[in-house]
Amino acid sequence: MSHQTVIVLDFGGQYNQLIARRVRECGVYCEVKPYTTPLEQLRAMAPIGFIFTGGPSSVYDENAPHVDAAIFELGVPVLGICYGCQLMAHTLGGQVTAAQADTAREYGKTETYYDTSCKLFKGLPEQGVSWMSHGDYMARVPEGFALVGHTDACPNVAIADEKRGFYGVQYHPEVNHTQHGVDMIRNFLYEVCGAVGDWSMGDYKNTAIRDIRKKVGDGKVLLALSGGVDSSVAAALLAEAVGSQLTCVFVDHGLMRLNEGDEVEAAFARWDIHFVRVDAETRFLLKLAGEAEPERKRKIIGEEFIRVFEEEAKKIGRVDYLAQGTIYPDVIESGAGDAAVIKSHHNVGGLPDYVDFKEIIEPLRMLFKDEVRQLGRELGLPEYLVSRQPFPGPGLAIRIIGDITKEKADTLRQADAIYREEIARAGEDQNINQYFAVLTNTRSVGVMGDGRTYDYTLALRAVTTSDFMTADWARIPYDVLDRISTRIVNEVGGINRIVYDITSKPPATIEWE
């Protein structure tokens, strides 16, 4: 079954995949394509609409990303967001310049006024807060465009040529900070593009299974199974697609949470899959010995993972494909095209140059975390697996600041277990999307009994988020934090100070490294 398709053209902004998520939330299938995709390839996909994303460039710069102007002659509606709006204006004969201090340079939450006779704002309030992030200004809009949105500082934060179905906004409707932003995207899809809403996660599951079967044929697949949400859902999807052709390899690298290796093995023991557990703690710790730089840690772990899989594949016999539970945020944060690299993930940017498999399969690569959980439910996974706390592939290696030793890993394991136990006991696990402890490389003076100590500082991190692209620090009650702190300093050796991270994302990331 084919679906109506919207194409999101990626110009390198950090929120680009979030746009795709919003479109899918509205029941419309979409794909993200780089702006360099040939026009004929885009035309062949028969899209009902295009969305141009934001990006870090200025359209008037010599090397700024552009599109073939013929895209505006396809008779397909276009929504330009931030850089995408300015690019549309620039391409169609408008003028974009650097904003002066008093002419429309805007950042953050901004009171915005809308012309609700425009289809983009149909049925919405005439006034609301939008999330701005632009230093450029449309000094002249193209012929045929009307001004349909403004702020106190900028007269043209939204423009529209409704006859041709072209719309541009200088703010970001895809982020939660913009009031009614998703409604604006929905209006573009349904009021402008004529969407009928013919896509769901059930469709994604069926399509993914069909595509996996087509790609794999009678080949064998080796899955890197961490036991986390992503790899568990990938395992269930692959098991349904190729059954006994799948082998799941769980690499216990010695950097798991307390008792986690045994829990993972127990969870999959009753499944009809080939499950292999590899005890590789010594191997990984030797490779990581003395390494303190976080990007190097990730790349060391990424390469060692691959080498372990290759060795296990040889024991199993012929294996054609390596499967991973890579999801969209992994890809975004590791950088793609013109996007900045925030941090590389061991299963994306951390892969070595040479991998001894025919191909890598990443069936969740287009999904955000909440969509992965939804897919897991579609596949019939138990809720305790689907709702499990996120845990990075490199494990505690990136929650130990500085060099890694077995002693530090054991210390962090115990402290993290106490933290998670007390959060669950207080019922806060229902309110927090991710929480964990970080063993910092900072030591400070403390007093225990009548003696002086000089031990490590432990940082606690907890966030609330719907998509893991942005996140707010969680307001854990003081009495809960007090119990956590008291237990850790009394029960875990080597720690004499607890701090709580109250930084949101952005500017921070959720993990520390």
Does 85 participate in catalysis according to the annotation? no
Active-site hit among 26, 30, 82, 118: 82
User: Backbone phi, then psi, for 108, in 5-degree steps?
Assistant: 85, -165
Alpha carbons 362 and 454: distance in angstroms, whole number: 46
For the beta carbon of residue 424, count every other beta carbon within 10 angstroms: 12
Q: Is 134 a catalytic residue?
A: no
**For the residues of 186-239, what is the DSSP string, one character each?**
HHIIIIIS-------HHHHHHHHHHHHHHHHTT--EEEE--SSHHHHHHHHHHH
CA distance 48 to 27: 14
d(CA 183, CA 121): 8
Alpha-helical regions (H) of 379-405: 383-386
Return the HEC string of 25-72: HCCCEEEEEECCCCHHHHHHCCCCEEEECCCCCCCCCCCCCCCCHHHH
Query: Active site residue: 106, 134, 154, 174, which one?
Result: 174
Note if 172 is an active site residue: yes
Set 90, 134, 172, 345: catalytic member: 172
The full length of the chain comes to 513
Residues carrying an active site annotation: 82, 172, 174
